[in-house]
Structure 1
Amino acid sequence: MIRKLILSLCVALGCVACEETLPAYNTSWCGVQFELDETSLNPEVYSYSFVGKDEALTKDTIWLTVRPQGVLPEKSSRIKLEQYVGQEWKYIYGDDGLIADSILRVIPRQAEAGVHYVPFDDERLAELLTLDAGELEARIPVIVLRDQSLRDTTYTLFFRIVDSEDLKAGDEKRCNIELRIADCLSRPSAWDDWFFAGIWSRVRHEFMIKVTGEDWDNEFIGSLDQNTRNYYLYVFNRELRKENAERAEQGLPPLRVDPNDPNSELTFPTVAYW
């Protein structure tokens, strides 16, 4: 009996000790993070291309959605963005197929402020990079610039939400964005390795634009349902047969993904499985 009383007392004292060590709940924390598309394999990756836009267009705006976290701000609060250096691990494999070494390298061709995009501290953006009092979501801009260097190269802007004087950065996984900027054909972020029309290549992309008159950018891809995808696959296969027949009459080989590789003939699936 005495032993049971001692055990009960120890448990009670232990619980009290636990309660005393718990940190106080922060009821004043205000944060913000991006609203990302959870259906995408790479929701943090965005693409923008000036291809197909009027030649007089020298800049354009990409709007991103943010949501508050914690307590809703009671005043108009500043959202702070900053560019960071994108890096990736490059793995070196041994003869046994196992990783023998690794190198952390800087990803090449990163966007330059004032050349490929308007700097985030530009005073023209100050009123737009805000979250108003009581607002459950806001759209904030990234302004991209049409530099000559984009004509043949895709540049990537790595940026993130960081703490401002008003708002803290939210979940790290939802505060980082990778934006690919180009004025030449480049793979849209919505075109992953399981894309219904096949793995991306410039020849494939150009052919799809040619036969449909659509840009096949993220916005257009996102508008397609399965029936529409199947329709387009029918069109691609039909028009590819015509194209190759015309090429044969001219003594040319079938259209190839790589013109220098005879084993890379362009093909399309017949059915979209998703």
Structure 2
Amino acid sequence: MKRHIILKLSMAFLCMPFLTACEKELKPYSDNDAWLNFRYIDWDTREELMQDDSYYSFAMRSASLGIDLQQDTVWLEVETMGFLSDHDRTVELQQDTIKAEELEENGEAEAIPGVHFVPFDDPTLLTQSYVPAGATRTKVPIVLLRDPSLDEKNVALRVTFKDNGIFKPGYPAYNTHTIHISSRLTKPSQWDMYYWDYNFVKYSETIHELMIQWTGEPWDDDYIKQLAEGDPTYLSYLRSYFQEKLDELNAERQAQGEDILREPNGDPVKFEPMSF
């Protein structure tokens, strides 16, 4: 909603000079500047495509691919404002600083170039980061690295656009994106997109691990989107199925003199949604 309001106000201010000068001859638009935004919204359908934050887990990605990943590439879609071009135009990214209180609130550290991600000025990355001739959209790569420090603490990487003389950063609400990086299981971004804490089950790493174990599915963004856009009754079935499996597991644990399965904070594991 905030991004919608900012864009509408910006467009209104841009239009004001034309409204107040209607008696004058309008000059052709000749500004050669070009800007970049992350493509958060499809303006034709008003569909939200992704959020300001995304979550990447080496553990989840490795499980989905069946290999032990030590690095991986995340592709973010960007779009241009301004005139089209008849030649390819290089897109350059840069790291944006995250406030200490925000990192502390999320229990994260700030990502370090060369340790947690390949620096954005890497020549190989730059050859893959461009808007093709005649295009207004492209995807740019961010290469994440599985440093051992991720076993102890998650890191956050905030990305923005560098003014490289070809492109400038676009609207403030659309020109940054934050990737939360972990070696452990972490909540997929699509989980929040579909409000699954309220519509399916409240997320926890324990629940995530059990769902992967009991279904053999990765439960990553692609799989969650597939389920969310499918038959809603199947989600209800899955929740019941998981709770039955949990009840069986707890019964086995108690028969062996063990406690029921609990979250790290001591709460019993439950396959239940949050209440509104």
TM-score (norm 2): 0.75
- The aligned residue for residue 99 of structure 1 is none
> Which residue number corresponds to residue 210 of structure 2?
207
Residue 36 (structure 1) aligned with residue 48 (structure 2): no
- 2-structure distance, mates of 1:267, 1:160: 39
CA shift digits 1:93-115 (9 cap, x unpaired): xxxxxxxxxxx999840110000
| Equivalent residue runs for 1:153-172 within 5 Å | 153-172=153-172
Provide the rounded CA distance (Å) in 1 between the counterparts of 2:157 and 2:221.
17
| Superposed displacement of residue 16, structure 1 | 8.2
SS in 1 for 2:73: strand
Distance of 1:269 and 1:105 partners within structure 2:
26
Counterpart residue identity of residue 150, structure 1: L
| 1:256 alignment counterpart | 262
Which residue pairs with 1:62 in the alignment?
A: 74
In the TM superposition, residue 133 of structure 1 has moved relative to its aligned partner by 1.3
Larger Rg: 1
C-alpha distance in 2, partners of 1:129/1:25? 28
Change (3 A) 1:183 1:139: same
CA distance in 2, matches of 1:216, 1:171: 33
Give the CA deviation at 1:191.
2.8
The letter of the residue matching 1:71 is F
Question: Could you say what secondary structure the match of 1:142 adopts?
Answer: strand
Partner AA of 1:144 in structure 2: L
Aligned pairs (5 A) from 1:94-133: 108-133=108-133
> Normalized per residue, which structure has more strand?
1
Taking the aligned partners of 1:70 and 1:51, their CA distance within structure 2 comes to 40
CA displacement, residues 108-141 of structure 1 (integer Å, 9 cap, x when unaligned): 4011000010000111111111112101321110
- Seen in structure 2, the aligned counterparts of structure 1 residues 40 and 152 have a Cα distance that, compared at 3 Å, is farther
Structure 1 counterpart of 2:186, which letter? S
Distance in 2, Cα, partners of 1:191 & 1:17: 49
How far off is 1:39 after superposition? Answer: 5.6
The alpha-carbon distance between structure 1 residues 227 and 23, as it changes in their structure 2 partners (threshold 3 A), is farther
Q: Distance in 2 between matches of 1:159 and 1:68?
A: 17
Separation of aligned partners in 2, 1:189 and 1:126: 26
Compute the displacement of 1:242 (Å). 0.9
More helix by share: 2
Q: Helix, strand or coil: the match of 1:234?
A: helix
Corresponding residue number in structure 2 for 1:152: 152
CA contact (8 A) 1:28 1:71 kept: yes
* Unmatched tracts of structure 2, length 5 or more: 1-18
Q: 1:185 to 1:60 in 2, by over 3 A?
A: same
Shift of 1:267: 1.5
Q: Would you say 1:229 and 2:235 are equivalent positions? A: yes
What SS does the aligned partner of 2:159 have?
strand
Q: In the aligned structure 1, how far is the partner of 2:163 from the partner of 2:107?
A: 25
Change (3 A) 1:17 1:145: closer
CA distance in 2 between partners of 1:233 and 1:206 (Å): 14
Report the Cα offset of residue 219 of structure 1. Answer: 2.2
Structure 2: how far apart are the matches of 1:66 and 1:77? 13
CA RMSD of aligned residues (A): 3.3
- Aligned residues, how many? 242
Identical amino acids, percent of aligned pairs: 31
